[in-house]
């Protein structure tokens, strides 16, 4: 069965520190997609990134970077030089394949709450 594990319930760092949020997934599908979402204190879900199972290139977007390793079934998220505005709950998610269609369901991890202190 598909599953996403975010073992870090809460992380607290001081501003400007680098922080890595871990995500480990389980799936039997060969085609799948992985996502990261940010949920700031206001509550909405903000899409950060999508990665498909055939693309293991790491991605960098400003202070954000993602490391996808199929060998360890991990899709970790690093924030460099963290800022107070990065304080949020971060969710990793996996899309489940259904009859060749990977877009109908997201399976979420339990989330990691990141607190960045000034």
Partner 1 sequence: EAQVTQNPRYLITVTGKKLTVTCSQNMNHEYMSWYRQDPGLGLRQIYYSMNVEVTDKGDVPEGYKVSRKEKRNFPLILESPSPNQTSLYFCASSLRGTPSGYTFGSGTRLTVV
- Residues contributing to the site for partner 1 (CB under 8 A): 4, 6, 9, 33, 35, 43-45, 47, 50, 52, 91, 93, 95, 101-111
Q: What does DSSP assign to residue 85? A: G
| Least distance CB 94 / partner 1 (angstroms) | 11
Cα gap 63→87, rounded to integer Å: 14
Supply the minimum distance, in Å, between the C-beta of residue 10 and partner 1.
11
- Closest to partner 1 by CB, 52 or 72: 52
CA distances from 8 to 23, 53, 98 (A): 9, 23, 29
Rounded to a whole number of angstroms, the minimum distance from the CB of residue 109 to partner 1 is 5
Distance CA 47, CA 54 (A): 20
Q: Which is nearer to partner 1, 19 or 35 (CB)?
A: 35
User: Which C-beta is closer to partner 1: that of 43 or that of 118?
Assistant: 43
Residue closer to partner 1 by CB (options 62, 100) is 100
How far apart, in Å, are the Cα atoms of 78 and each of 7, 42, 51, 81?
15, 22, 15, 10
């Amino acid at each position: 069965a598909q599953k996403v594990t975010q073992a870090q319930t809460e992380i607290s760092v001081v501003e400007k520190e680098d922080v890595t949020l871990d995500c480990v997934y389980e799936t039997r599908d060969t085609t799948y997609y992985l996502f990261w979402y940010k949920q700031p204190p206001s509550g909405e879900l903000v899409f950060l990134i999508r990665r498909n199972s055939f693309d293991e290139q790491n991605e960098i977007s400003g202070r954000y970077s993602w490391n996808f390793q199929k060998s360890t079934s991990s899709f970790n998220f690093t924030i460099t030089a963290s800022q107070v505005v990065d304080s949020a709950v971060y969710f990793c998610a996996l899309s489940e394949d259904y009859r060749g269609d990977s877009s109908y369901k997201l399976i979420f991890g339990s989330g990691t709450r990141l607190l960045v202190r000034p």
